[in-house]
Copies of this chain bind each other. A is one copy, B any other.
Amino acid sequence: MLNMRRRSLAAVATLTVLAPALPADEPLTMAGVLEAAAASDWRELDQSRALYLYLDSGVVVFELAPEFAPQHVDNVRKLVAGRYFDGLAILRSQDNYVAQWGDPAAGTAAARPLGEASHGLPPEFYRAKAGLEITPLDSTDAYAEAVGFVDGFPVGSDGERAWLAHCYGMLGAGRGNEPGSGSGAELYVVTGHAPRHLDRNVTLLGRTVHGIERLSVLPRGTAALGFYAEASEQVPVRRMRFGTELPENERIRLDLLRTDTASFERLVEARRDRREEWFLDPVGRIELCNVPLPVRAHVD
């Protein structure tokens, strides 16, 4: 991996639909598993829960998780419908932590009205495990009794509860000290080592599926907590839209590997036991936030 002359593992977007099965003697690798995956192992990104963030540098796309945060997802729908986000700004980029956007005037008399949306929602920090199909991950986790995946989202759980985990790229709703002070009007994305101590303390409502590098390379703010010290440093948010609002030719069509498939299980094993020639110690272990959640350009 840390070698200039390795073959690319990044050819995901060019895979054919009906790739050959892995030869029995082929080492199990991510590339091999994805090449061998059936078309039905992928699902197309649902544009009705694909949230687009437009920056001058390009677009970031999130897949929302209404199963975990129905009220926050619904409130964000109202905010987007009211064009709340259009013309706001990225206010914060803290190294190894998060990028965050919202209304620079929030909390002042000049704050932008939220329209039909709520100013504060009941916490959706976790939900009942009942009713969820969790694909378990065999891993020793520092923060949760058990971990796994639900519909492509990393999840922690204990006896009765399940919650989305703060892995790289997860999308959350900032809040104040009151549990019900989050609304989705201020959003953040994890851009560093998974801050799993935030799990069950704040509502996560989705994950990044395209363009996270637009957020992760943002200049770091120099004020406390990575806020930009000057308004002039803030990065304009041009607009936010749902995919279904966009003309067909502006939609970014993606396929996501289903996490309830044998292909995903093989992928996890390929990443747990690293058989690529470069690895001398095959590791034999894997942590929740190091499991890749493959995304490719949509294949018709």
A54 to chain B, nearest CB (A): 19
A104 to B212, CA, bound (A): 27
Contact B216 A95 (CB under 8 A): yes
Which residues of chain B are within 8 angstroms of A177 by Cβ–Cβ distance? 3, 277-278
Contact A179 B280 (CB under 8 A): yes
- Please report which residues of chain A, range 85-137, place their CB below 8 angstroms from some CB of chain B when the two chains form the complex: 91-92, 95-98, 100, 102, 106-107, 123, 125
Which residues of chain B are within 8 angstroms of A193 by Cβ–Cβ distance? 167-168, 192-194, 289-290
Q: Mark A5-33, 1 if CB is under 8 A from B, else 0.
A: 11111110000000000000000000000
Kindly state whether residue A49 has any CB partner on chain B within 8 Å: no
Taken together, the copies of this chain in the complex come to: 2
A285 to chain B, nearest CB (A): 5
Contact A175 B2 (CB under 8 A): yes
Contact A224 B10 (CB under 8 A): yes
A272 to chain B, nearest CB (A): 9
Q: Which residue of B lies closest to A285 (CB)?
A: B143
Contact B286 A197 (CB under 8 A): yes
Contact B198 A2 (CB under 8 A): yes
A177 to B274, CA, bound (A): 13
A252 to B95, CA, bound (A): 20
Q: Which residue of B lies closest to A7 (CB)?
A: B224
Contact B281 A196 (CB under 8 A): no
Contact B143 A142 (CB under 8 A): no
Contact A287 B174 (CB under 8 A): no
Contact of A4 among B107, B274, B280 (CB under 8 A): B107
Q: Which residue of B lies closest to A95 (CB)?
A: B213
Residue numbers of A with Cβ under 8 A of B are: 1-11, 91-92, 95-98, 100, 102, 106-107, 123, 125, 139-143, 167-169, 172, 174-177, 179, 186, 188, 192-198, 200-202, 212-213, 216-220, 223-225, 227, 271, 274, 277-281, 283, 285-290
Instruction: List, sorted by A's number, 24 A–B pairs whose CB atoms are closer than 8 Å.
Output: A3-B174, A3-B175, A4-B92, A4-B102, A4-B186, A6-B224, A6-B225, A7-B224, A8-B224, A11-B224, A96-B212, A123-B280, A140-B140, A140-B142, A141-B142, A168-B192, A177-B277, A195-B290, A197-B286, A200-B281, A201-B280, A201-B281, A216-B217, A217-B217
Q: A10-B224, A143-B283, A192-B192 are in contact. List 13 more A-B contacts (CB 8 A).
A: A2-B175, A3-B177, A4-B92, A4-B106, A6-B224, A11-B224, A142-B287, A143-B285, A167-B193, A168-B193, A196-B287, A217-B218, A217-B219
